Amino acid sequence: MKTLLIVDVQNDFLLGGALAVPFGDEVIEVINKLMPKFELVVATQDWHPANHGSFASAHLGMKPFDVGRLGSVEQVMWPDHCVQGTSGAELSSKLNSNAIEAIFRKGTDAMIDSYSAFYDNARMKSTGLGSYLKGRNVSELFIVGLAADYCVGFSALDALELGFRTMVVDDATKPISEKDFIAMRQKIHNQGGAFLISSEIL
């Protein structure tokens, strides 16, 4: 089964949001067009408690985009974003969400961040997405959304490790940092992932 995984198309990652991804809004129209081409559509939502440890505001002396540690792992300190129950955490109202069968929330534990849709950054806890997809007989996974160098990229790497044929749709994702995305692309490519553009699916 051919599945579309829509990562974190939430107001805080869009224009005017707390952690707006440059040109992030451009992915929405592409994703809306792609959805009808898939047998299964699932989404993720970054869903942090107000005191989340990935927020610079939770650490004395840290400012957004500094790099520190959270628990046992390196952590980029983000501006407060996608706080549970706020409008910034909602999926964009421009995203056609009717076809989304399930939404997996991540980043809910204040002590650990979770970029991948499958596991937290220390790989302590699974979101259940991998078992859900295997239960639905998913073989091919097309990943879209935000941000290309973080949640989309790490989701693709985990999907590959879990044995899914994994594709990232280039014009349906945008990075926070172009430079970081170049490195991420290389990793995904090296692990057997593919990049394609939406017109190859439409």
Binding site for Zn ion (CB under 5 A): 46, 107
Residue 128, φ and ψ in degrees, nearest 5: 95, -10
Catalytic residue among 46, 113, 149, 151: 151
- Asked whether position 12 contacts ligand VGL by CB under 6 A, the answer is no
Catalytic residue among 106, 120, 149, 158: 106
Q: How far apart are CA 137 and CA 8, in angstroms?
A: 23
Give how far the C-alpha of residue 134 lies from the chain's centroid of Cα atoms, to the nearest Å.
Answer: 19
Closest separation between CB of residue 130 and ligand VGL, Å?
A: 18
Binding mask 66-85 for ligand VGL (x = CB under 6 A): ------------x-------
- Asked whether position 146 contacts ligand VGL by CB under 6 A, the answer is yes
Q: What are the start-end ranges of the H helices in 10-86?
A: 26-34
DSSP-derived letter for residue 74 is: E
Is the CB of 76 or the CB of 201 nearer to ligand VGL?
76
Q: How far apart are CA 85 and CA 39, in angstroms?
A: 30
**Contacting positions for ligand VGL (CB under 6 A):** 8, 46, 78, 146-147, 150-151
